[in-house]
Structure 1
Amino acid sequence: MAEETVGIVGAGILGLAVGREITLRRPGTRVVVFEKEDSIGAHQTGHNSGVVHAGIYYAPGSLKARLCTRGRSLLKEYCAGHGLPYEECGKLVVAVTPEEVPRLERLADLARANGVPGLRKLTAGGITEVEPHAGGLVALHSPRTAITDYVRIAEGFGRDIVAAGGEILLGRRVSAVDREGGGLRVTAGGRIESVDRLVVCAGLHADRVGRLLSDTAEPRIIPFRGEYMRVRPSKADLVRGMIYPVPDPRYPFLGVHFTRRIDGGVEVGPNAVLATAREGYHRWRVDPAELLRIASWPGSARMAVRHWRTGLRELRGSLSVRAYMRAARHYVPGIGPGDVVRA
């Protein structure tokens, strides 16, 4: 008989990783995963570039730095043991102006402090040895930065949970959470489950699920959409791995970059624009109620005042492929606006 039941809201890679780890650390614990969609990894897990980062950008000693470094090793080991795709195609972080070189040096110091494996500094000649069609003055090369398929990994985690006696309940949206004795009663898609503990890994809807348990209004999720361009097959061989800009400290994003995908294609992006729906993966999807909620929250105004220049720049790139590709062409001059389509 199970000693404890743990419920998890969300069958993305985070929720499933938590569930799998519970079954490994606490054998006999029953894990029940609630997922509103009919498949695993339907949202953020399935809407990303598939990059496995090596820990270049994070403050030494921080959780991000430690977890990124350790997580990369664990992920590589898991993929190798389960026949899942994992390709170390490497990444260049390229300085294209003299002003970017000191920032690149500081980035190199962070990366070395974080133990990023195989890190090298390259001159212009070294850049073209790694990426023959790339341009730049100097670069950092991280050969262990990799690409993978996170949906397939999440599916693997799901199989591990089921093999350990757990359940993954697809098509079951959590609509109520009530306290019951020393545990909780979860209502999801007409099914009621009693659990001793509940872990919320609901991604875009984590704030809404959290409010089922508490009256607090914080935190509040404001949805942003990352938009990518897909390089036409005729030009995809101009990029071997990943080519990133030196991050600009004025902006909260890494900048538009080139990424080879595990399916062999190449994408450029992302930009980041305010989404007009909570699950607004497509630019023309509009939810008036969501827009009203965003506009009426005071934090939205504070964000707009602080980042309005960034917002305008990102919006310009969203509306114009030419504007989107203007910065990207500094890194791979042979790929222009006519060589990409919206992904």
Structure 2
Amino acid sequence: MTARGRGFDCDVLVVGGGIVGLSTAYALSRSAPGTEVTVLEKERGPARHQTGRNSGVIHSGIYYRPGSLKARYAVRGAAETVAFCKEHGVPHEVTGKLIVATDRPELPRLHSLVQRGRENGIPVRELGASQIPEYEPEVTGLAAIHVGTTGVCDFRAMAARLALASGADVRYGQEVDAVDRRPWGVAVRTTGGAVVRARALVNCAGLHCDRVARLAGDDPGMRIVPFRGEYYDLLRPGLVRGLVYPVPDPAFPFLGVHLTRGVEGGVHVGPNAVPALAREGYQRWTARPRDIAETLRWPGSWRIARRHWRHGAGELHRSLSKRAFTRSVARLLPAVTEDDLRPAAAGVRAQAVLRDGTLADDFVLREGPRTVHVLNAPSPAATAALPIGREVARRALAALDAAPD
């Protein structure tokens, strides 16, 4: 008997039409054919937020702690993303990338990345200063590593293909504003007044995932604190052949200002990471009182501010000063000038912050009765979307098996 025949509109209702939500729908259709899936997305199309507003990088997994979900899913996901793109005609390219140390204190951290990459099964090549120009003639540094499995992808196009390939009932312009969980299942109401009844709910709401969890009656144990990532376009794209990254600060879950040649041939520079005044605060002065209040009320927000204020001050300075931003780029690419950089569209990272001020450094998946919540899935979630989707689908199907008919 179908879900409709049992009084439901679908078996699994997915909230969120970004790449993780659509990968979950795709995984459900492949692992359990016949499962009826509905996806509710508040925007007028897929992948309008984190998925469609990033550097477009297929991450290798070199940065992430061995054994973590990020490490396992990024390594696996990079290969699967390339295979999916080839099969479905999604623009992509495996370019490789350089991670470059520009001063001596960075050299031990660069060596640690080499070790981490090898533990994660990623092929890396160590380079001396004289070897860097083999890959990037305009880039300078003391040492570097080349990671061959990194690439770029049009993730918005990939999300659209996932929506089609999933066979799910994807409904755009449907924002969830109420969730009623009962012994028999879950009923969700949208702001337009529509009600969808499902046997299980999957929360892939990204920037709003903690709110959807609370609507469902589950305590997420975290809050989304938004960080805006600001980008520039490089007006002399010939200065860069592929992808060039600095050595990241291990105390902060951001990778630093980097250069990324995209699938269209242009070069993106960025992002920095500054606190946003709205969860969808893509413009510097966009502010939402509710978002600000939720951030300020969360104890973890104050603790992270005290812990990382020096780093944050530097990011804010680069946000307000194009000259400072240019200087940070010039450490890698000395030929760059302020005139070479033109402001581009910004993104917002949905960063989960725990009550103690810890920045969640791994993907966070949690379950409640008949619910599965994806509570931290910033970068490299687009790369890892197919493995994440399979794991979320597995948990959703387990919830179906446990629920009474």
Please report the TM-score for the alignment, with normalisation by the length of structure 1: 0.95
Cα distance in structure 2, aligned partners of 1:221 and 1:34: 20
Cα distance in structure 1, aligned partners of 2:293 and 2:120: 43
Q: Which of 81, 89, 92 is equivalent to 1:86?
A: 92
Give the 5 Å matches for 1:230-309. Answer: 230-232=233-235, 235-309=236-310
Cα distance in structure 1, aligned partners of 2:33 and 2:284: 45
Structure-2 residue corresponding to 1:194: 197
User: What is the RMSD of the two structures over their aligned residues, measured on CA atoms?
Assistant: 1.4
SS at match of 2:114: helix
Greater RCO, CA 8 A, separation 6+: 2
Counterpart check, 1:122 vs 2:124: no
Cα distance in structure 2, aligned partners of 1:2 and 1:123: 62
Q: Which of 145, 151, 155 is equivalent to 1:150?
A: 155
Structure-1 residue corresponding to 2:45: 39
Q: Which of 50, 64, 72 is equivalent to 1:58?
A: 64
Tell me the percent identity.
47
Q: Render the CA deviation track for 1:191-244: whole Å, top value 9, x for unaligned.
A: 211100000000001111111111637321111111111111xx1111011111
Q: Render the CA deviation track for 1:140-166: whole Å, top value 9, x for unaligned.
A: 00122000010000000000122xxx2
Structure-2 residue corresponding to 1:69: 75
| Matched letter for residue 300 of structure 2 | G
Taking structure 1 as reference, are residues 106 and 153 closer, same or farther at Cα in structure 2, changes over 3 Å only? same
Q: Aligned pairs, how many?
A: 337
| Matched letter for residue 78 of structure 1 | F
Cα distance in structure 2, aligned partners of 1:172 and 1:222: 23
SS at match of 1:211: helix
Cα distance in structure 2, aligned partners of 1:322 and 1:250: 25
Counterpart check, 1:95 vs 2:101: yes
Gaps of at least 5 residues in structure 2 are 4-9, 345-405
Taking structure 1 as reference, are residues 20 and 215 closer, same or farther at Cα in structure 2, changes over 3 Å only? closer
Structure-2 residue corresponding to 1:326: 327
1:292 Cα deviation from its structure 2 partner: 2.7
Q: Are the counterparts in 1 of residues 259 and 270 from structure 2 also a CA contact under 8 Å? A: yes
| Matched letter for residue 129 of structure 1 | E
Q: Are the counterparts in 1 of residues 213 and 220 from structure 2 also a CA contact under 8 Å? A: no
Counterpart check, 1:139 vs 2:144: yes
Counterpart check, 1:19 vs 2:19: no
Cα distance in structure 1, aligned partners of 2:251 and 2:159: 34
Counterpart check, 1:204 vs 2:230: no
Q: Render the CA deviation track for 1:105-128: whole Å, top value 9, x for unaligned.
A: 1110110111113x2111222210
Cα distance in structure 2, aligned partners of 1:217 and 1:183: 20
1:99 Cα deviation from its structure 2 partner: 2.2
Please report the TM-score for the alignment, with normalisation by the length of structure 2: 0.80
1:332 Cα deviation from its structure 2 partner: 0.7
Q: Are the counterparts in 1 of residues 18 and 51 from structure 2 also a CA contact under 8 Å? A: yes
Cα distance in structure 1, aligned partners of 2:251 and 2:280: 28
Structure-2 residue corresponding to 1:111: 117
Q: Render the CA deviation track for 1:32-79: whole Å, top value 9, x for unaligned.
A: 000111111111111111000111111222222111111111111100
Cα distance in structure 1, aligned partners of 2:260 and 2:312: 23
SS at match of 1:197: strand
Cα distance in structure 1, aligned partners of 2:233 and 2:175: 33
Counterpart check, 1:216 vs 2:219: yes
| Matched letter for residue 114 of structure 1 | N
Gaps of at least 5 residues in structure 1 are none
| Matched letter for residue 66 of structure 1 | R
| Matched letter for residue 191 of structure 1 | A
Return 80-89 or 10-19, whichever deviates more. Answer: 80-89
1:250 Cα deviation from its structure 2 partner: 4.3
SS at match of 2:51: helix
Q: Are the counterparts in 1 of residues 40 and 171 from structure 2 also a CA contact under 8 Å? A: yes
Cα distance in structure 1, aligned partners of 2:138 and 2:81: 30
Cα distance in structure 1, aligned partners of 2:269 and 2:94: 19
SS at match of 2:12: strand
Structure-1 residue corresponding to 2:229: 226
Cα distance in structure 1, aligned partners of 2:11 and 2:251: 46
Structure-1 residue corresponding to 2:169: 167
Cα distance in structure 2, aligned partners of 1:215 and 1:159: 31
Q: Render the CA deviation track for 1:134-192: whole Å, top value 9, x for unaligned.
A: 10121100122000010000000000122xxx200111111111124421111123221
